[in-house]
Amino acid sequence: MKVLISDSLSEEGVSKLQEHFNVDVSTGLSEDELVEKIVDFDALVIRSGTQVTKKVIEAADNLKIVGRAGVGVDNIDIDAATEKGIIVVNAPEGNMLSAAEHTIAMMMSMARNIPQANASLKAKKWERKNFMGVEVNGKTLGVIGLGRIGAEVAKRAQGMEMDILGYDPFVTEERAKSMGVELTTVDDIAKRADFITVHTPLTKETRNILDAAQFDMMKGNARVINCARGGIINEEALADALKAGKIAGAAIDVFTSEPPFDCPFIDLDNVIVTPHLGASTEEAQVNVAVSVAEEVISVLNGGSARNT
């Protein structure tokens, strides 16, 4: 059996697969190169770099499984895969703590202007008065999407004495209560929260869940965070709100188009950005690689998959 790994994958995952299969690691392939290469592979293992399009699926005559070493499967044409009987698995738990920690890091960095102050001092300036921050203690954090990562963010923010508002149509009052979260609407979060963080998948319901109407409702000192998927917060509306001083800041890890060099807010001083680093820790990358390798081994050996 042959396994193609088309994005960089932690060594622990690669060697696990090599124990069972003939493994080819070829990263940075264009769609056409992948279409040409995929023909006789039984499994394809990817991260977020590879786009598994309909064209790729159609060319994949032997493919039985696509393994996504991470959470989001938005870079895979699931309908085309399902139509061809190809199993799609992800690694839903391996990077959740890293993504939650990155969210908290982004919130704190934004609250205390750490990236801006770091850049200023390295440019040999001593500008203490330009970088007055805010405490998070006693502030309200709105969490939109209370799944694995949202719940971990809420837990960590409570450790810093923040009050948590939450919105998630699939979470019961009972579950929210057990998390110490007050369930409410997106608009109520927009009106009341000092910090708002989104942790949903990107779907037609969540696209632009924070848009111009919500920015108009926000407090002038509100700050928003997106470590989930580009497009959940409308990028144009966010840029307008930041430029008009309707909100105080934003911390963004993910973008509608990556790399986001044409993004409308990337150059603004009241925005901090990271290049999709939510899952970029040694621990998370080992976890997701091993998890996906185990799924591929199971499926190619005739077993079942856990995370379809």
The one catalytic residue in 152, 199, 229, 235 is: 229
Other CB atoms within 10 Å distance of the CB of residue 201: 15
- Residue 169, classed as helix, strand or coil, is coil
Residue 144's binding partner, choosing from ligand MLT, ligand NAD, none, with beta-carbon cut-off 5 to 8 A by kind? Answer: ligand NAD
Q: From the CA atom positions of the chain, what is the Rg in Å? A: 21
| Whole-angstrom distance, CA of residue 136 vs CA of residue 8 | 36
Q: Is 153 in the site for ligand NAD (CB under 6 A)?
A: no
Q: Is 300 in the site for ligand NAD (CB under 6 A)?
A: no
**Which of 6/95 has CB closer to ligand NAD?**
95
- DSSP letters spanning 79-119: HHHHHTT-EEE--TTTTHHHHHHHHHHHHHHHHTTHHHHHH
Q: Is 48 in the site for ligand MLT (CB under 6 A)?
A: yes
| Whole-angstrom distance, CA of residue 22 vs CA of residue 18 | 6
Residue 149's binding partner, choosing from ligand NAD, ligand MLT, none, with beta-carbon cut-off 5 to 8 A by kind? Answer: ligand NAD
The DSSP letter of residue 10 is -
In whole angstroms, the minimum distance from the beta carbon of 301 to ligand MLT comes to 25
Site string for ligand MLT, 82-101 (x = CB under 6 A): -------------x------
**Which of 23/100 has CB closer to ligand NAD?**
100
Given its phi and psi angles, is residue 255 left (phi above 0), alpha (psi -120 to 50 degrees) or beta? beta
In whole angstroms, the minimum distance from the beta carbon of 76 to ligand NAD comes to 12
Q: Which of these segments, 35-43, 112-120, 275-283, 290-298, binds ligand NAD (CB under 6 A)?
A: 275-283
Helices (H), the chain: 11-18, 31-38, 54-59, 78-83, 96-111, 114-122, 148-159, 173-178, 186-192, 212-217, 235-243, 282-300
Contacts of 206 (CB under 8 A, 6+ apart): 145, 198, 200, 232
Angle separating helix axes 114-122 and 96-111, nearest 10 degrees? 70
Of 245-264, which residues contact ligand NAD (CB under 6 A)?
A: 253-254
| Number of residues located near ligand MLT, criterion CB under 6 A | 8
| Whole-angstrom distance, CA of residue 297 vs CA of residue 302 | 9
Q: Is 7 in the site for ligand NAD (CB under 6 A)?
A: no
Out of 5, 278, 300, 307, the only residue in the binding site for ligand MLT (CB under 6 A) is: 278
Out of 18, 58, 64, 72, the only residue in the binding site for ligand MLT (CB under 6 A) is: 72
The one catalytic residue in 36, 161, 205, 258 is: 258
Identify whether 199 is a catalytic site residue.
no
Which stretches of the chain bind ligand NAD, using CB under 6 A? 71-72, 92, 95-96, 99, 144-150, 167-170, 199-201, 203, 205-206, 227-229, 253-254, 276, 278-279
Residues acting as catalytic residues = 229, 258, 276
